[in-house]
Structure 1
Amino acid sequence: MSKLGNQLARLEGEEVARGVRMLLARPLLTAVHDPDDFDLIRRRREPIVKWFDYYCGWRVHVEPRAGYARLFKTTQRPDRTRPMFDRRRYVLLCVVCAELLAAPTTTAEALAERTKQAMALDGLPSFDPSRRSDRNAFADVVKFLEEHSVIEHNEPQLRADPMLITRLLAAPVSASTVDTIEDLTHETRYENAHRSLWQRHSTMRRLIDDPVVYKEDLTASQLAFLTSPSGRKIVQTGVGLAGCTLEERAEGFLVIDADAVATDTRFPDDDSNAKVVALLLLDRLAQGPARFEDLVEETRELLTKFRNWGKAYQSDGGAGRLAAEGLELLAAFGLARTENGTVRRLPAAARYAVEELHD
């Protein structure tokens, strides 16, 4: 291959890798909010689609004319440690989307009123736009839909894109046909497939989607795949094509994206009170397991010491809420785990240990 050919091949590889990681970070990516990123995915859609299909068994739909790319990430083990919303907002999101499908052009006030009526008719928890908590929840849902280009909000009018609404739910079966989350995530393609196909897809999904994968949390089949020469080669090749590296420790595995393109949230980071407290609690857990109540007390002392910090948590019960949010972050990043009220630090937390300097 000529020098120019090598350069073009290297450029394609770099762009495909970046496209894969961008979709991992933003599974619904639009030309409106991410024009450059969408253009890259549009140009390299064929190898990007093939990567997700072969390594993860995930479908990617790229629609150049409509201006969006959607990665349909499915799993048979839903992660409850990293919810997008609380239960209240998830319910509102579903009802709001249903109302927008029926009437794509409306106003925020009219949409809120229709949502109120729909929830009352369906026997769902009451929604009252005059309540501050409900207004905030409604605003969060509208903001989410705006960020994903599902709606355009030009005061006073809201205009929804019905096609993008139907692309929001990433599930192999229709939600209206099932009763449980387990049924919703059931993938029939693996029922008669060769065992190695599920091994490859389920293992890569864990490695790509989770910050840390501990060997003790893998199934015997997944661990056998990872430790076999052929399985290890497949994983290393796939991770490398995505522009990442696979790090293996005695306790487990970690896929590292040095450019942080595939990262939807970062830790450590000081962009929220919860992340600051999470680091504090991680330092405390380095001394040994602790009861949740003890960690709440640590958080209370921090709030008392810095009265002008964490103002939203200075009220009664604030320390408990902040400690809980910090622990949720640590659990989401695979750094700590709570069992029977006791919190213990996990091996990956050693990455954030403060090293003492000696003369």
Structure 2
Amino acid sequence: MTTSTGTVAQDTTGRRHAARVLLQQPILTAAQDPETFELVRRHATSLKSMFADRLGYTLVVDTSFVRLTKAPIEGSAPSRPLRRGNGDEFGATAYMYLALVCAALLAPGTEDRVLVSNLVDRIRVDAEEHGIELGDTLSERRHLVSALHTLQEWGVLGESDGDGGHEADVPGEVTLTVDRALLPHLLSGPLHKAAGPAAVLSSPVPEPPTRRLYRRLVENPFVARADLDADALDVLVRDRAELTRLLDEDFGLVLEVRTEGALAYDPDGELTDVPFPGAGTLEQAALLLVSELTDRYETEPGDDLHVDTGTLDAVLGELAATHARTWRRDYVRDVPLLRRDVTSLLARLGLARPFEDGLMLAAPAARYRPTAAERSAT
């Protein structure tokens, strides 16, 4: 009996760990992380069922890769853009290069090993055929490099060791290996069948309120009651105990429900794509801004706080002057830029949203109000 109980506990722990990894890393390859890849394969059946039933996700488990395709995000949800190596968000040009690289790799006749120079030539031919003008500036080359690095991080591309005896092994050239089986799974479905951009970003069929609520709790740092429809709010009240059990069992998350809304947080502080607080300039500025505003303005529990642009710039300007020696120089020199990026970060965290002339600070931001001891120490 002890052995059986221990095995069940190990299986539960292993399945939960695999699910947590997949939330953070929806593309997993055997070459990059063989241990976790095998763990996912071991629990593939239960993971597929759990992700599909509770979140509306699709899990594909192949012989060399695993791909978790998440559901389309809601229109009101903060964006989660791709980021370059320096942390900057992908813009339209970078996404264009990413699409062109993928199209070139999927072209008939493309082999599993390609020269970078041949790939670039293929991209330029494809772009010209579709009326896309490509420049040869340093900026555009950086966008191309960002696209290639992203595909390398996903495991679609890898650098060849050059010992395969292939004709692509040319001295002075970089040869890439291509996982052509994974490429078609980067998107949730074929674009040529979609009616338009909106169709790609929307769910084809209505979903039950339990699934919609569960997904929001897993995906978002905070879910406000005001943002829930009547059916989802009813599920939160009626099935709170069951939601608590499932969130812990599936992902090790703890459900907390308060007057202003609900959140499912990770006690280990690992299950997030936006760590906060953090060490970077934006993270520090956002935390200090929230602390200053929540300390300056007394609000009732559960209330949001509207802060105008003038106040934001004044507070951030003071903070930038105080931390001028350690913060990024472009933010110290350009307070409106700092305000824009801090607002964007707080929106991704669910702590604020842009609102008319300024921002609306959400009630959960009060969690970062400084204590009396912290205030006296400053």
**Superposition TM-score, scaled by structure 1 size:** 0.86
Q: Does 1:246 align with 2:255?
A: yes
What letter matches 2:38 in structure 1?
A: D
SS for the counterpart of 1:204 is helix
Q: What residue in structure 2 maps to residue 116 of structure 1?
A: 124
Cα contact 2:320–2:332 (8 A) shared by 1:
no
State how far apart, in whole Å, the 1-side matches of 2:346 and 2:31 are.
34
CA distance in 1, matches of 2:329, 2:31: 34
Which of 69, 87, 91 aligns to 1:86? It is 91
Task: Report the alpha carbon displacement of residue 22 of structure 1 after superposing the two structures with TM.
Answer: 1.0
Aligned pairs (5 A) from 1:35-54: 35-54=34-53
Q: 1:106 aligns with which of 114, 121, 142?
A: 114
The residue that corresponds to 2:86 in the other structure is none
Inter-partner Cα distance in structure 1 for 2:201 and 2:223: 21
Inter-partner Cα distance in structure 2 for 1:345 and 1:186: 28
Change (3 A) 1:294 1:178: same
Q: Where does structure 2 lack aligned partners over 5 or more consecutive residues?
A: 83-89, 161-172, 298-305
CA-to-partner distance for each residue in 1:170-228, whole Å, 9 max, x for gaps? Answer: 2xx4322224343124444x46xxxxx61122111111111111111112221122222
Relative distance call for 1:310 and 1:325 in structure 2 (3 A) is same
- C-alpha distance after superposition, 1:230-278 (max 9, x if no partner): x3344223202122211111111111122234322311111x3221221
Return the letter of the residue paired with 2:229.
T
Find the aligned partners of 1:52 and 1:91 in 2 and give their Cα distance. 30
Query: Contact (CA 8 Å) 1:331, 1:337: kept in 2 or not?
Result: yes
Structure 2 letter corresponding to 1:71: L
> In the TM superposition, what is the alpha-carbon distance from 1:135 to its structure 2 partner?
1.7
In the TM superposition, residue 35 of structure 1 has moved relative to its aligned partner by 2.3
Change (3 A) 1:274 1:108: farther
Shift of 1:12: 0.9
The 8 Å contact of residues 37 and 66 in structure 2, kept in 1 or not, is answered as: yes
Instruction: Report the identity percentage.
Output: 26
Tell me how far apart the structure 1 counterparts of residues 122 and 327 of structure 2 sit (CA, whole Å).
Answer: 36
Is the CA contact 1:23–1:262 (under 8 Å) kept in the aligned structure 2?
no
- 1:82-102 Cα shifts (integer Å, max 9, x gaps): 222322222221111001112
Are the structure 2 counterparts of residues 136 and 120 from structure 1 closer, same or farther at C-alpha, using a change threshold of 3 Å? same
CA contact (8 A) 2:312 2:358 kept: no
Partner of 1:278: 286
Partner of 1:133: 139
1:70 is aligned, of 67, 71, 95, to 67
1:21 is displaced (CA, Å) by 1.1
What is the Cα-based RMSD across aligned positions, in Å?
Answer: 2.4
**CA 296–113 in structure 1, closer or farther in 2 if over 3 Å, else same:** farther
**Residue number among 309, 314, 317 corresponding to 1:292 in the alignment:** 309
Give the deviation of 1:76 after TM superposition.
5.3
Structure 1: 5+ residue stretches without partners: 192-196
Please list, as runs of the form range in 1=range in 2, the aligned pairs for 1:214-225 lying within 5 A after superposition.
214-225=224-235
The residue number in structure 1 matching 2:184 is 166
Structure-2 change in CA distance of 1:296 and 1:150 (3 Å): farther
CA distance in 2, matches of 1:341, 1:321: 15
2:157 aligned residue: 151
- Give yes or no for contact 1:99–1:114 (8 Å, CA) kept in 2: yes
Q: Residue by residue, what CA displacement relative to the aligned partner does 1:133-186 show, whole Å, maximum 9, x if unpaired? A: 21221111111110111001246112221221111112xx43222243431244
Secondary structure of the structure 1 residue equivalent to 2:182: helix
Give the superposition deviation at 1:306.
4.2
SS in 1 for 2:80: coil
Return the TM-score normalized by structure 2: 0.82
- In structure 2, the residue corresponding to 1:290 is in which secondary structure? strand
CA distance in 2, matches of 1:26, 1:92: 22
SS state of the match for residue 148, structure 2? Answer: helix
Match of 1:326 among 342, 345, 349: 342
1:34 matched to 2:33? The reply is: yes
Q: For 1:132 and 1:296, how far apart are their aligned partners in 2?
A: 34
How big is the shift at 1:305? 4.3
CA distance in 2, matches of 1:156, 1:268: 39
Partner Cα separation in structure 1 for residue 337 and residue 141 of structure 2: 22
Note if contact 1:277-1:323 (Cα within 8 Å) is conserved in structure 2: no
- The separation in 2 between residues aligned to 1:315 and 1:355, in whole angstroms, is 27
- Alignment partners' CA distance in 1, 2:362 and 2:185: 36
Q: Aligned equivalents of 2:151 and 2:97: distance in 1?
A: 12
1:17-52 Cα shifts (integer Å, max 9, x gaps)? 111111111111122222222221111222222211
What is the one-letter code of the residue matched to 1:57?
A: G
